[in-house]
Amino acid sequence: MNTKLGLNLQNLRKRYPGNPSQGEIAEKLGLAKSTYGSYEQGRTEPKVEDIVKLADFFGVSTDDLLTKDLATYIAPPPAKKTDNLRILATTVDSDDNENIEFVPIKAVAGYTDSYHDSEFISKLPVFQVPFLPQDKKYRVFPIQGDSMLPLQEGSLVFAEYVDDWYHIRNGTICIVVTKDEGIVLKKVFNYLNEKNVFVLKSTNERYAPYPVLGEDIAEVWKFVGYFHKDFPQ
């Protein structure tokens, strides 16, 4: 394990403006508190994308974070928030573990307007699934209609939060929360870099693909599984 990385994270956090806790930094980075804690303690080797997030957050290069002694480094003030900053409202249990929130049918209409409202999210039903990785954020959404057959209407889709939309691979099935369409489950074809657009495609060929501009997208969640009471036909 990279003990230098763990010590650097500890020192950087203690010198960061506002002296944030492990939980506060984990929340800002979209990580579970336990995951960030294991990085500081040197028990877990971070994934490459997490190393990049950590370096960006503390204002250092990834090379310095991994190889240099940053005991006397003072982090710059946090950047001001911009309209492009995505903030995920979430909930945790009594042990500070990330909950899995369930968006019931009756809450679907309000979710598009209130997905970023911590009070709205805090009122959603929550539960834990022990076999899902603890270092990722999950939410469960109901599926309406027949656009994603053979997935049946009424299925409950388990989905993983996606923070970096630009690296979503073409054909990835995602829950996409948009301003006009609300919550939809579609195959995503990613043209954000070239044209600032997703093309969303159903598995049911009766439905034509359609584009969604980047500024009209609120959240993206990658499909990881589903539940339905009936066996698929």
* Per-residue pLDDT tens digits of the chain, which is 233 residues long: 567 888 989 988 888 777 788 998 998 888 899 999 999 988 888 888 888 888 888 888 888 888 888 876 655 544 443 344 466 889 988 888 889 999 999 999 899 989 988 899 999 999 998 888 888 899 999 998 989 988 888 899 999 999 889 889 999 999 999 988 899 999 999 998 888 899 999 999 899 999 999 989 999 999 999 998 887 66
Predicted pLDDT at 182:
92
Distances (CA, A) of 70 to 14, 65, 167: 12, 7, 31
Which of 19, 52, 67 is the last residue before a domain boundary? 67
Predicted TM-score (pTM) of this structure = 0.63
Q: At what angle do helices 3-15 and 33-40 cross, to 10 degrees?
A: 110
Predicted pLDDT at 168:
93
User: Are 137 and 198 found together in one domain?
Assistant: yes
User: Are 132 and 182 found together in one domain?
Assistant: yes
Torsion angle of C-alpha atoms 148, 208, 177, 100, degrees rounded to 10 = 10
Range of the domain at 41: 3-67
User: Are 221 and 140 found together in one domain?
Assistant: yes
Q: 150 preceded by cis ω (within 30°)?
A: yes
Distances (CA, A) of 114 to 53, 93, 179, 202: 26, 21, 11, 26
User: Are 142 and 199 found together in one domain?
Assistant: yes
* Count of domains forming the chain: 2
Distances (CA, A) of 124 to 64, 130, 135, 148, 175: 41, 19, 21, 25, 18
Torsion angle of C-alpha atoms 77, 80, 86, 88, degrees rounded to 10 = 60
User: Are 111 and 54 found together in one domain?
Assistant: no
How far is CA 185 from its chain centroid? 16
